[in-house]
Structure 1
Amino acid sequence: MPTLTAPAPTVDAAALIADIEAYLADQAPRTAHPLVTKTTAELVAEALRGPDAEPEAAPALAAPSRLWRILPDWALAITPARRLHGAGRDITVTQHLELTALVIQQYGHHRGALRSRGGARCILGAQAVLYRLGYGDENTAKAAGQQLQNILRRRGIDEPYHRWNDHSERTLDDVLHLIRNAIKETQ
């Protein structure tokens, strides 16, 4: 009997980075006065550019989404959108877990490898995307993985979370439920 598969999501790195940046901006510290819509850092940067400065150029676009899905993950480290936002942006473990869920929702869920040919990701693959894009560091990813592992242990599951992800019966909902439980534990 033929199996039905969902179409692969069409996501490119620039769109994913835009979603990540929107999420992080939503959590950023607000300005001192409610009528001021820019953060202090944005106001300082604007002041340093001067009143006659040209507006900032629009960011370069990443490779087209179809091409982007088949490129290897190491190529995420060289995307123009990543260079625009800078490498090594610090995020918390909670943010890492929330962004891991975002990546899986946008790219799709995969079992058996870090990624599918169509670009779907497992939990570990989604964490690798964040790391390659410069969101958090190795320690952040390890701490997030430990949170996932703690939830599984409380359920009586001793295998590593990346192997748990790879079971044939594992669904997108199962994975997102695990991640969301881990998020609750970090708050």
Structure 2
Amino acid sequence: MSDTLRAPHAPLLDLVDGSGLAEEIEAYLATLPAPARPSRPYVSPLGSTLQPWNAGYPLPRRTLLDRVVRRPARPADVTVAGHLTLTSRYLTAHGWLQGAMWDAAGRVCLLGAQAAVLAHGYGTPYTVRRARAQVMEVLHATGRPVDSPDAYNDHPTTTRADVHQLLAHAATRALHLGI
């Protein structure tokens, strides 16, 4: 049996007879493209960028007629699920509060966040009423029978995370209902 033909369990180095075959293989492998890396999200070493609470939603724009007659822009169309998502984002951006609609620092309660989203031109009062109905449905379905979402917001055991989770469940419910 020759030195280059050994059993399959023999180490690779034993197969090389010093004729330059190893260098030739390494040169060939160097010309091949690098293997694909596993897909991982890119994380910038410089940090992250904050996005506005209304990112991904169109800004309400005043038309020329709106400017001439000095009226506010027409509200941007937002679904009930979109309104609940924006409410949660607004709470994240400005802070959450219990016992008042807003404070001097800009923090808001659940109702204050919904009012702020509406005041920024997202949806209509009808959208807000339907969104509050979805929140009430989730509260009652999860065994928290309260008179209003505001009573739940102001309950001493309620946390900011509870409010965000409530809004997420209500948004999911509204999305499944197509509203």
Equivalent residue for 1:24?
A: 57
CA contact (8 A) 2:53 2:93 kept: no
- 1:87 touches 1:133 (CA, 8 Å); kept in 2? no
In structure 1, the gaps of 5 or more residues are 1-14, 26-82
Within-5 A mapping of 1:1-187: 18-20=52-54, 22-24=55-57, 86-159=73-146, 160-187=148-175
- Rg bigger for which structure? 2
Aligned equivalents of 2:96, 2:160: Cα separation in 1: 6
Listed as ranges, the gaps of 5+ residues in structure 2 are 1-49, 59-71
Instruction: Tell me if the contact between 2:75 and 2:121 (Cα under 8 Å) persists in the aligned partners.
Output: yes
Paired with 2:135 and 2:78, the residues of 1 have a C-alpha distance of 17
TM-score by length of 2: 0.58
CA RMSD of aligned residues (A): 1.8
8 Å CA contact 2:53–2:86 kept in 1: the answer is no
- Percent identity reads 30
Q: Which has the higher helix share?
A: 1
SS in 1 for 2:82: helix
Moved over 3 A (4+): none
The 8 Å contact of residues 94 and 183 in structure 1, kept in 2 or not, is answered as: yes
SS, match of residue 141 in structure 1 = helix
SS of match in other structure, 1:119: coil
Normalising by structure 1, report the TM-score.
0.56
Give the superposition deviation at 1:111: 0.5
Aligned length: 112
